Amino acid sequence: MLRILKKTIAVCLIGLGLGMLLVLLLPLSGWLFLIGVVIIAVGLMWLCC
């Protein structure tokens, strides 16, 4: 049960990060782009463990 919850949270994090990146690729903003990349990385790490 806990493992399913962790995967769900990880997928949500990856989706949020990708959404931020797609929105922010229109006006290139360095900080928010970096935050999106970090969110995706955290989501992937969470998914792997």
pTM score, whole prediction = 0.54
For 11-38, the pLDDT digits (tens) are 888 888 777 777 766 666 667 777 777 8
C-alpha 6: how far from chain center:
14
Q: Are 46 and 10 in contact (CB under 8 A)?
A: yes
Domain boundaries of the chain, sorted by first residue: 2-23+30-48
